[in-house]
Amino acid sequence: MKLEHIKFVEDYRTDILERLTADDFLPASNKNEMVQDAFQDRPTPWSRLKANRLALIGMGIVIFMILAAIFGPMMTPFSYAAQNLMEANQAPSSAHWFGTDTLGRDLFVRVLYGARISLAIGFVAALINLVIGVTYGGIAGFFGGAIDRIMMSIVDVLYGIPLLLYVILLMVVLGPGLTSIFIALGIAYWLTMARIVRSQIIKLKAEDYVIAAKAMGFSSVRILFKHILPNCVGPIVITMTLAIPEAIFTEAFLSFIGLGVNAPMASWGVLASEGIASMRSFPFQLAFPALAICITMLGFTFLGDGIRNALDPKEEGK
């Protein structure tokens, strides 16, 4: 190899140079396989979610709570209503993992039942929230113009009302009970969802692919269902996921002030309320339900945030 006249700008490994032969400088033969458009394996939202540790923790908590709520009570021998005054106010032990309350009921199983109620309330309220919010926001966003302005003005006014007072009022009128809670929560909290759905629809209406669909001649209805709504799923899921802890907490608060579900049915709020009375002497009776509320809320919040980050359009594509 005659390389003396080659001016290398930087040192190059002489062993590589020495191994080269004339054959190496023949035209490349197998290039065609490589000229194919390389397929970019871009991160999907699911993989982004998986990479987010907090979101995974949140998801774990949520799944755990759901499973505990469904299967937990079957695994303990105690029933949530069984009173045993002999064993009242017992500290946590191997027999009663969370101890007992003032009426001798096993706290562990009551917390598990509480999970059922609180989670159910959370999900159902979020669902009602979803239906009302999506319909309302969808109509406003899709039709635009005067309809949009009127509908959103109503939302703006309702936003000004402190919703907790509103819910309390409803509960007083409707009377205590699970159904009343569903109704009250559902009626009060759809505002955010409506706003989000409406603004998402407005944003999507201006997207090129929606305009392209219009240019192809599709009917408005088809555009709404095929192009707009599927792309609203992201913000809707996020809002729902974050609405659940809000519903759970509101219910806990209502139960705490006595407007929630009836005894002996115990949501976490009721347990917390009972626990407050004996906070000084038997703190565990408050600690466990309160902890359950906090952890569950955190779980949903982490998960919701994680979903929001995973679906962030800024990280998609480009």
Partner 1 sequence: MGDLLVNIKNLNITFKTFAGEISPVRDVSFQLQKGEILGIVGESGSGKSITASALMGLLPKGKTIITANTFEVMGENCLGDTEEQWKSIRGRKVAMIFQDPMTALNPILSIETQIREVLDLAKGKSSYEEVVALLRQVGIANPESRAKQYPHELSGGMRQRVIIAMALAGEADLLLADEPTTALDITTEAQILKLLQKLCKERHMGMIFISHNLRVVAQLCDRVMVMYSGKKVEAASVFTIFQNPQHPYTKALLASIPDGKGKGELVAIEGQPPDLNQLPTGCVFYPRCNTAMQVCANQEPPMIDVEVSTGNSQIRCWLPIKGGVL
Partner 2 sequence: MSTKIWETKGIKKAFDIKTKWYGGVKQAQVLQGIDLCQVAGETLGIVGESGCGKSTFGRVLMGLYPPTAGEIFLHGSLVKSDNDIKKLRKHIQMVFQDPYASLNPRMTVREILEEPLLIQGISNKKERKERVVDTLEQVGLSSMYGERYPHEFSGGQRQRVGIGRALITNPECIICDEPISALDVSIQVQIVSLLERLQADKGVSYVFISHDLNMVRYLSHRIAVMYLGQIVEVGDVQEIYKNPKHPYTQSLLNLNKKIEPKAPIGNILQGEVPNLLELPTGCLFASRCPEVTEACYSERPYLQGNDIQQVACFKHI
Binding positions for partner 1, rule: CB under 8 A: 1-3, 5-10, 12, 16-17, 20-31, 34-38, 40-41, 43, 47-48, 51
Closest contact distance (angstroms) between CB of 209 and partner 2 is 5
Q: Which residue, 163 or 311, is less far from partner 1 as judged by CB?
A: 311
CB 302 within 8 A of CB 64: no
Closest contact distance (angstroms) between CB of 315 and partner 2 is 10
CB 137 within 8 A of CB 101: no
Closest contact distance (angstroms) between CB of 52 and partner 1 is 9
Assign 248 to helix, strand or coil.
Answer: helix
Point out which residues pair with 106 in neighbouring strands.
100
Q: How far apart are CA 185 and CA 261, in angstroms?
A: 13
- Residue ranges that bind partner 2, judged by CB under 8 A: 37, 39-42, 207-209, 211-218, 226-227, 230-231, 316-318
Q: Which residue, 252 or 307, is less far from partner 2 as judged by CB?
A: 307
Joined together, the tokens standing for residue 171 give 């509960």
CB 131 within 8 A of CB 236: no
Q: Which residue, 178 or 311, is less far from partner 2 as judged by CB?
A: 311
Q: Which residue, 8 or 39, is less far from partner 2 as judged by CB?
A: 39
Closest contact distance (angstroms) between CB of 211 and partner 2 is 6
List the single partner that 230 binds among partner 1, partner 2, none, CB under 5 to 8 Å by kind: partner 2
Closest contact distance (angstroms) between CB of 24 and partner 1 is 4
List the single partner that 30 binds among partner 2, partner 1, none, CB under 5 to 8 Å by kind: partner 1
Closest contact distance (angstroms) between CB of 31 and partner 1 is 6
Degrees, nearest 5: CA angle 283-292-51: 140
- Residues whose CB falls within 8 Å of the CB of residue 151, separated by 6 or more in sequence, listed in order: 136, 139, 140
Joined together, the tokens standing for residue 202 give 């407005």
List the single partner that 212 binds among partner 2, partner 1, none, CB under 5 to 8 Å by kind: partner 2
**Is residue 9 packed enough to be buried (19+ CB in 10 Å), middle (13-18) or exposed (0-12)?**
exposed
Residue in this structure with the two tokens 């035209």, named with its chain if needed: 27
List the single partner that 3 binds among partner 2, partner 1, none, CB under 5 to 8 Å by kind: partner 1
**Is residue 293 packed enough to be buried (19+ CB in 10 Å), middle (13-18) or exposed (0-12)?**
buried
Q: Which residue, 13 or 318, is less far from partner 2 as judged by CB?
A: 318
Closest contact distance (angstroms) between CB of 214 and partner 2 is 6
Point out which residues pair with 203 in neighbouring strands.
none
List the single partner that 9 binds among partner 2, partner 1, none, CB under 5 to 8 Å by kind: partner 1
List the single partner that 28 binds among partner 2, partner 1, none, CB under 5 to 8 Å by kind: partner 1
List the single partner that 161 binds among partner 2, partner 1, none, CB under 5 to 8 Å by kind: none
CB 96 within 8 A of CB 108: yes
Joined together, the tokens standing for residue 183 give 């109704």
